[in-house]
Chains A and B, each alone.
Chain A
């Protein structure tokens, strides 16, 4: 589980595999899932789901004091022909099908948004160009809701870009029809002050495959909750994540894969690099294999690379198995550091210091970047990773 030898001071990497009759994933939360913010008490910080998050930096998203602004956050959707893009009212029946808010901020977003975006790819439509959603902040506060729905056997790539400065709380539903294939790349390339809290709910149809790539570079506080459940058998989920946590940033990724149907697969790989004083990355990976989910095949992994002193990682993989009739289940978490001895070793082989650091970080991420499968995104990420390195080292 915790494989690394030189875990940086203050970091934790604690994992568990529990074989139990009943899941504790739900009972660890301070309230059951609900669309209504009133069903959640205002968190004080000691709750299991909030204990790593600096509440005082949430800009009031958690306690009802955040107020949506009319302007200051723009959302633009660019979609190829054949795709329907709509803005719909709160009572639209397509909203909320992917999953229910599991914490107070997600419920606040659901209770507060005015219009929701719905992007629909009709059945059997195979897109050759990505759908692009640009969320750009100009200092505003926004509660949002976005649905992306693929009909049966539709195929699409969606790239969601977050830039600028905003306080944003949203729920994003990904609904995959039978046999559909969806790749979503969500890039959090925020300015330094942005606060972004979101729950992603993927509901994967029979034999459908879902690939989520979450890339978090910016923001003061980013807390994302990618969640997956299956609407039928034979579904597949790949959840990839890359984060680069700089000085003072809090970046938190809390995943849940609920194997609630038989013969589904999931593969979770999140990798993060940290540098600078008080850079804090949190990774929670909950995988639940329900009693009825025989034939499940799942693996989850989190790796962290700490580049400087003063950064902290909390990594908690958690696998709960309620049936023994599975194909495979495993998890791994490791946090290591790039230290002066490693730098010396590389330099002693003629490699200049900045190149040594680049080599280590690129190498660390490369394998994962290569699995994204969207060329211009892969290139952009490698460039971005280099920029991150140059920015503060």
Chain B
């Protein structure tokens, strides 16, 4: 069973000619089939955690370890991590001019699966996945994320999740900026992947709203660059009622 283990992870960024520590010792284990919700206020370092796991070059790991099935993730290049089974649905997906969605998806699937998917089955696979996410077929011919609405970008991320079938999926605020209909469609997409039991999900969110659609096994409160409390689904209810104040007092985070 695939397992992602994060141990005492410390991460800094360079900002305004100063080095700033954002992650201050994150410990977390995510196993295939499990869903962990990470909830925390803005600026607490949730995206930093997500990007650091994916290997974004702006983030410097200053301490700790991350392993996927015992393999050192931090040693891997960004593309190697993806091929090893890590997937990050980004909070702000990037526009890539000149590259059509269909070309992008096929190149990506070829890289991750290690061989080019057979054309006929692939076309069908993509078409059906897009239908399930209420995406118009014309989407495939548009350039990656170029001119997409916020909701379209998030659907496109989940489309990739469905096609790439990672071992560990990190969803960074996939719910933010979605209306209720889009939230439902996107959540159903995530649930389809979860129901296979093949993926461990790290669901990063600011709001409890999405947890009505995607039921977590574990909820972690993230504040000031680390996990400050962990519990079951009931912890989300507590956050719903009380907000993050209890965790942010003392100025650990804004």
Binding site for B on A (CB under 8 A): 305, 336, 338, 340-342, 344-353, 355, 359-361, 363-365
Of the candidates B55, B56, B98, B112, which one forms a contact with A349 in the assembled complex, judged by CB atoms under 8 Å apart? B112
Q: A347-B79, A349-B82, A350-B112 are in contact. Are A336 and B97 (CB under 8 A)?
A: yes
Q: Total A-B residue pairs with C-beta atoms closer than 8 Å?
A: 79
A341 contacts B94, C-beta separation under 8 Å: yes
State whether the Cβ of B134 lies closer than 8 Å to any Cβ in chain A. no
| Least distance between A311 CB and chain B CB atoms (Å) | 15
| B81-135 residues at the A interface, CB under 8 angstroms | 81-83, 88, 90, 93-100, 103-104, 107-108, 111-112
Query: In whole angstroms, what is the CA distance A174 to B141 when docked?
Result: 37
A346's partner among B54, B56, B90, B96 (CB-CB below 8 A) is B96
B164 on the interface (CB 8 Å rule)? yes
CA distance A360 to B164 in the complex (A): 20
Chain B interface residues (CB < 8 Å from chain A): 54-57, 77-79, 81-83, 88, 90, 93-100, 103-104, 107-108, 111-112, 143-144, 160, 164
10 contacts between A and B (CB under 8 A): A338-B96, A344-B78, A345-B94, A347-B82, A348-B82, A348-B88, A349-B112, A349-B164, A359-B104, A360-B99
A9 to chain B, nearest CB (A): 18
The answer to whether A349 and B160 touch across the interface, beta carbons within 8 angstroms, is yes
- Assembled-state Cα–Cα distance A365/B93 (Å): 23
Known: A340-B57, A344-B56. A349 touches B104 (CB 8 A): yes
Shortest CB-to-CB span from A7 to chain B, Å, is 12
- Which residues from chain A contact B77 at a C-beta distance below 8 Å? 347, 353
Q: A350 — which chain B residues lie within 8 A by C-beta? A: 79, 82-83, 108, 111-112, 164
CB-based contact B111/A349 at 8 Å:
yes
Q: Are A305 and B97 in contact (CB under 8 A)?
A: yes
Give B109 Cβ to nearest chain A Cβ, in Å: 8
Cα–Cα distance between A196 and B55 once the two chains are bound (Å): 45
A359, B107: Cβ atoms closer than 8 Å: yes
Provide the bound-state CA to CA distance between A344 and B90, in Å: 11
Closest 9 CB pairs of A and B: A364-B98, A350-B111, A350-B82, A349-B108, A347-B78, A345-B94, A350-B112, A363-B98, A363-B99
What is the bound-complex CA distance between A348 and B160, given in angstroms?
11
Q: How far is the CA of A348 from the CA of B56 in the complex (A)?
A: 9
- Knowing A353-B79, A355-B111, A359-B107, the reply to whether A348 touches B98 (Cβ < 8 A) is no
Instruction: Look across to chain A and name the residue whose beta carbon is closest to the beta carbon of B111.
Output: A350
Given A340-B57, A344-B57, A363-B103, A351 and B96 touching (CB < 8 A)? no
A342 touches B111 (CB 8 A): no
Main SS of chain A's interface residues?
helix
Q: Which residues of B contact A363 (CB under 8 A)?
A: 98-100, 103, 143
Across-interface contacts of B143 in A (CB, < 8 A): 363
Which residues in A have their C-beta under 8 angstroms from that of B164? Answer: 349-350
Instruction: Indicate whether A342 sits within 8 Å of B112 (C-beta atoms), given known contacts A348-B88, A350-B82, A359-B99.
Output: no
Closest B residue by C-beta to A353:
B79
| Contact of A360 with B98 in the complex, beta carbons under 8 Å | yes
**CB <8 Å contact, A364 and B107:** no
- A356 to chain B: closest CB distance in Å? 8
- Besides A338-B96, A359-B103, A360-B97, 12 more A-B contacts (Cβ < 8 Å) are A305-B98, A338-B97, A341-B94, A344-B54, A344-B57, A344-B94, A345-B93, A347-B82, A348-B54, A348-B81, A350-B108, A359-B107
Residue from B94, B97, B107 within 8 A of A351 (CB atoms)? B107
- Closest CB-CB distance, A277 to chain B, in whole Å? 21
Interface centre among B77, B78, B90, B107 (most CB of A within 10 A): B78
Q: A360 to chain B: which residues have CB within 8 Å?
A: 96-99
Determine the distance from Cα of A352 to Cα of B104 in the docked complex, in whole angstroms: 13
Q: How far is the CB of B84 from chain A (nearest CB, A)?
A: 9
Contact B78–A342 (Cβ < 8 Å): no
User: In the assembled complex, which residues on chain B have CB atoms less than 8 Å from the CB atom of A355?
Assistant: 107, 111
Residues of A within 8 A of B56 (CB): 344
Give A305 to B97 CA distance when docked, in angstroms: 8
User: Which residues of A lie under 8 Å from residue B55 when comparing CB positions?
Assistant: 347-348
Q: What are the residues of chain B within 8 A of A348 when measuring CB–CB?
A: 54-55, 78-79, 81-82, 88, 90
Which residues of the partner chain B approach A352 to less than 8 Å between Cβ atoms? Answer: 79, 111
Shortest beta-carbon distance from A346 to chain B in Å: 7
Output the least CB separation between B163 and chain A (Å): 10
Inter-chain CA distance A352–B112, complex, in Å, is: 10
For B79, the closest partner residue in chain A by CB is A347
Interfacial chain A residues near B98, Cβ < 8 Å:
305, 360-361, 363-365
Chain A positions within 8 Å of B94 at CB level: 341-342, 344-345
A351–B99 touching, CB < 8 Å: no
CB distance from B161 to the nearest CB of A (A): 11
Query: Which residues on A sit within 8 Å (CB–CB) of B93?
Result: 345
Q: Report the separation of the CA atoms of residues A336 and B147 in the bound assembly, to the nearest whole angstrom.
A: 14
Q: Determine the distance from Cα of A353 to Cα of B79 in the docked complex, in whole angstroms.
A: 8
Expressed in whole angstroms, the Cα–Cα distance for A349 and B111 within the complex equals 8
Chain A positions within 8 Å of B57 at CB level: 340, 344
Docked complex Cα distance between A100 and B89 (Å): 58
Please pick, from B83, B90, B100, B112, the residue contacting A345 in the complex, using a CB distance under 8 A. B90
- Most chain B CB within 10 A, of A338, A347, A360, is at A347
Q: A349-B112, A352-B111 are in contact. Are A342 and B96 (CB under 8 A)?
A: yes
Bound-complex Cα distance A359 to B79 (A): 15
Q: How far is the CB of B103 from chain A (nearest CB, A)?
A: 6
A344 contact set on B, CB distance < 8 A? 54, 56-57, 78, 94
